[in-house]
Structure 1
Amino acid sequence: MKGERLSEIQILKEIAELLNEGTDLHHMLSEVLRKLLHVTGMKTGWIFLIDDSLKFRLAAYEALPPALRENSCEVMCEGDCWCIDRYNDGRLEKATNIIECKRIEDVIAESRGETNHLTHHATVPLRAGKEKFGLLNIGSPFKTHFSTEELDLLEAVAFQVGTAIKRINLTQREQENALTAERNRLARDLHDSVNQLLFSVSLTARGGKEMVADLEVKETFDYIQDLAQDALSEMRALIWQLRPKGLENGISSALKGYGAMLGLNVSTDVMGVICLPCKVEETLWRIGQEALANCKKHSQQTNVSIQFKIVNNTLVFTIKDQGCGFHYDDQQELPSLGLRSMKDRTELLNGQFDLESAPGKGTKIQITIPV
């Protein structure tokens, strides 16, 4: 008994050291799972992360049987099961033996491949205090029961993992807040210094023009004033990018205001109501800025329509103009750095970027993002 206790303490110590070093969530979960299987002698495991809207995703797995890995772990990434249902409705509070695994039963019934004699698994919530983050599932071939000692160990590990997830989430939030604060500081500095200097140059040029009679000198002052005004416009746009005033009133209001600053008439249509995560809203803001800037530069007209539509937990964001358009072949690479940047930002959120354009028929950009 004493030796088993020391072994358990050693396992928890090794996993704690691994968790304390981790900063990348998915890498950390994979490493912890691998370490847990190695030290306990279990053969397979997987971790579901479950967000506040009760949507789950397979965040890490180790040594899944072929039937469960088929089609990029399709059977593990969709549908309901005993453990997720009970986690979502609050009945799963501690480490539990799973008598029947619906996902394994399904692949057996459909003859979808080899299960390596895996039929049962234990499940335990990942939590830190009252906060819950997902599930840890562990199993082995021919193993149909987990002892109280094994469940206690899994619960202790799950608590460590939950605490590490909370730490990483808090760190990321602090970094995002620090980045926002730095952007706001830089925006204030630009507004209070460079912006005011450019405004002074413009006023000085206008005053100088009125004080001289020579036509060439007047034209020079006109040129200086035009340069200062152009620089002021660029500076205001930069300040908007650093500190998007109005975003606190929603992305729709912010993009409409940004378009007005560019001299565009932006109409907006919002279908459905949802509170967007900060990262999604920030991405849409940056994509919208780039798209509106392109409209200003290339479309040769000022009317732009923007639509936000929620369909089955998916956000469809559309920006469309009826301008001059351009030749575009969706089999070829996107023709500009700005468009490629929009596509990259979309794909970072597991979204889809679509572009439609033709000469004389305007341009339509559609962003589809799961939310």
Structure 2
Amino acid sequence: MSMEPRIQELVTLKTIAETLNQSNELSPMLDTVLEKLLDLTGLSAGWIFLTDGPPDYVCVADHRLPPGLLHDNKRPMSCGSCWCMDRYWDGRLKNAVNILNCKRLEEAVEHRWGDTRGITHHATVPLRSGDRRIGILNVAAPGKQHFKEEELALLQAVAFQIGSAVERMRLYADEQRRANLFARVGEFSRLLGTNMGTSMEQADLAERVVELIGENFDWPFVALLESVGSDFQPRAVYSAGETSTPYSPVPHSSAHWLEKAVSERRVVPADASEASALTGGDFRLEEAGAILASASAAPIPFSGASNSILVIGSEKAGERSRVDCEVLEALAEHVAVAFESARIDEYNRELARWEERNRLARDLHDSVSQMLFSLSMTAKGTEALLKGTDVDSALTAVRDMQSLSQSALKEMRSLIMQLRPVGLEAGLVTSLKAYGEKLGLRVLPKMDGIRELPRAVEEALWRIGQEALNNVVKHSGTGEAAVSLQLSDTAAVMRISDNGRGLVEHTAARRPSSIGLSTMRERTEKLGGKFTLTSTFGNGTVVEVLIPLQLPSSR
């Protein structure tokens, strides 16, 4: 090689290197590089394909294509196979080579798509960065059917530069996407935590999880599946902007990659054929409406759902699969925590129900049962009196029976009211006032601030208020109580007070763990609140409950 061609080669490599370092946008950069390469080498046309594997590829840059390849908005460059791509995919294309002729150009001539300007052959150069293969570079000129070894060597050197630049830009784009997606993971976790505060059932939680992922990420398909017997049962599917709950099972025989994700407890990607089956064929999830080219599945590491998996799908093959798999794994862990929290909440609710049943059973035994027993004994005594001549004593016994039956009825109504909180739609303070009046109390209500309370908070305050008013009736020795509720953006504070006898010191010492007081304290602390009881013998009692509230959402 003479000095002049050698200098020209160095100038070409220097110019290409400078061009590749001037931009972080892939397509504009490759368009500019291709233009400069053709100008410096005297070639007339070129194009670059990028691919992650068969059968998908994309023409990311082209320059001065002949009309035959521009047909129908460059359709010949975006569909069908060709000899150079086939050789690249099957591993035969390792270095820059001469392609004897171009299948795309031959088809353009055959179908009369337009003039090929005398171009029949091109050189093909694989693009790679290290061991990673990226795509191919094709260049051509009219009448040129053979490229010299020096020309192929120069094209090979340029291809190495392009491959390194593409990989650098992909890594940069991956980092940008990773940062963006993990920021969305944080928002997803916050929104999911907000929903968990409403004590959702696991079936509703599955739908909400899928819906939140669909709304906060750019994956067109999200599904939550559970392995049941020989099938995967869809619990919720997000596609085309909607969440549904299809009931058709997914056979294990058609989902080996899903089985692998469950058995090996790791994220498993799927190729185009496996992913596309999610929305048709044996999977029978046609309701989803998406056509997928790739997908990934992650097991949910939750002991109560050890065979559940979270699946995401994309309409592009292999797009950003490494980053998306990392994010999918993080999402699966957040979902596992949510399901575990829902399970614990359900357990706590069931425990609370049993505690409430036990308390009501004790109350029934201590009050209604004893009254009814007394009523029964009095009735027997009355029967004996009526057989004799002591009419006055018999009348007194009948009056005692009436009084006992009325007391028993009143106590029973109170317990029934506790079982079924009727009237909360009128407001918490109004409902407590009505409840106290049914107990025979004169209730003085006071309300400060207006805002909607979460259901769990309102029900807890209702139950605590009921118990406090019951205590006023049973222990205070007064017929009056004050109920106040103070609401702010950050807390709800309820006070129930009376001017009765207060707690008797020796009685309190004997019963340090009163069931009623313990229940009120537990309800408060379960919601992260503070329970305070202030009582002085002879000066009344004040029950104060403070429960923190979330700030109103700005969304």
TM-score by length of 1: 0.58
**8 Å CA contact 1:186, 1:242 repeated in 2:** no
**8 Å CA contact 1:309, 1:316 repeated in 2:** yes
CA distance in 1, matches of 2:192, 2:314: 35
Matched, 1:173 2:174: yes
CA distance in 1, matches of 2:284, 2:157: 42
**8 Å CA contact 1:183, 1:243 repeated in 2:** no
**8 Å CA contact 1:47, 1:135 repeated in 2:** yes
**Cα distance, 1:269–1:48 mapped onto 2, change above 3 Å:** farther
**8 Å CA contact 2:43, 2:140 repeated in 1:** yes
Matched, 1:267 2:238: no
Letter in 1 for 2:280: K
3-state secondary structure, aligned to 2:20? helix
**Cα distance, 1:316–1:131 mapped onto 2, change above 3 Å:** farther
Q: How far apart are 1:317 and its partner, in Å?
A: 6.5
Letter in 2 for 1:162: G
Match of 2:152 in 1: 151
Match of 1:3 in 2: 4
CA distance in 1, matches of 2:75, 2:137: 18
**8 Å CA contact 1:125, 1:136 repeated in 2:** yes
Match of 1:358 in 2: none
CA distance in 2, matches of 1:188, 1:55: 35
**8 Å CA contact 2:98, 2:147 repeated in 1:** yes
Match of 1:308 in 2: 279
**8 Å CA contact 2:125, 2:138 repeated in 1:** yes
Aligned length: 263
Alignment of 1:282-297 (within 5 A): none
Percent identity between the aligned chains? 35
Letter in 1 for 2:104: R
**8 Å CA contact 1:37, 1:45 repeated in 2:** yes
Matched, 1:241 2:209: no
3-state secondary structure, aligned to 2:38? helix
Match of 1:319 in 2: 287
Matched, 1:253 2:225: yes
Give 5+ residue unaligned stretches, structure 2: 227-232, 258-268, 294-312, 318-555
3-state secondary structure, aligned to 1:161? helix
CA distance in 1, matches of 2:112, 2:195: 69
Match of 1:139 in 2: 140
3-state secondary structure, aligned to 2:92? coil
CA distance in 2, matches of 1:131, 1:317: 35
3-state secondary structure, aligned to 2:59? strand
**Cα distance, 1:171–1:69 mapped onto 2, change above 3 Å:** same
3-state secondary structure, aligned to 1:156? helix
CA distance in 2, matches of 1:3, 1:161: 24
3-state secondary structure, aligned to 1:319? helix
**8 Å CA contact 1:190, 1:239 repeated in 2:** no
3-state secondary structure, aligned to 2:279? strand
Alignment of 1:1-371 (within 5 A): 1-188=2-189, 241=212, 251-253=223-225, 266-270=246-250, 273=255, 275=269, 308-309=279-280, 318-319=286-287, 369=315, 371=317
**Cα distance, 1:187–1:149 mapped onto 2, change above 3 Å:** same
CA distance in 1, matches of 2:18, 2:55: 30
Letter in 2 for 1:319: E
**8 Å CA contact 1:87, 1:125 repeated in 2:** yes
Q: How far apart are 1:122 and its partner, in Å?
A: 0.6
CA distance in 2, matches of 1:112, 1:264: 45
Indicate the structure whose relative CO is greater, using CA pairs within 8 Å and at least 6 residues apart. Answer: 1
Q: How far apart are 1:268 and its partner, in Å?
A: 4.8
Letter in 2 for 1:15: I
Give 5+ residue unaligned stretches, structure 1: 203-228, 285-306, 321-341, 350-366
Q: How far apart are 1:128 and its partner, in Å?
A: 0.8
Q: How far apart are 1:123 and its partner, in Å?
A: 0.6
CA distance in 2, matches of 1:38, 1:59: 19
Q: How far apart are 1:126 and its partner, in Å?
A: 0.6
Residue by residue over 1:86-130, the C-alpha shift from the partner in whole angstroms, topping out at 9 and shown as x without a partner, is 111111110111222222223234443211111111110011111
CA distance in 1, matches of 2:243, 2:58: 43
Q: How far apart are 1:53 and its partner, in Å?
A: 3.5
Letter in 2 for 1:267: Y
Letter in 2 for 1:241: L
**8 Å CA contact 1:33, 1:45 repeated in 2:** yes
3-state secondary structure, aligned to 2:225? helix
Q: How far apart are 1:132 and its partner, in Å?
A: 0.9
CA distance in 2, matches of 1:103, 1:195: 55
CA distance in 2, matches of 1:162, 1:117: 29
**Cα distance, 1:276–1:141 mapped onto 2, change above 3 Å:** same
**8 Å CA contact 2:236, 2:245 repeated in 1:** no
3-state secondary structure, aligned to 2:184? helix
**8 Å CA contact 1:191, 1:239 repeated in 2:** no
Q: How far apart are 1:310 and its partner, in Å?
A: 6.3
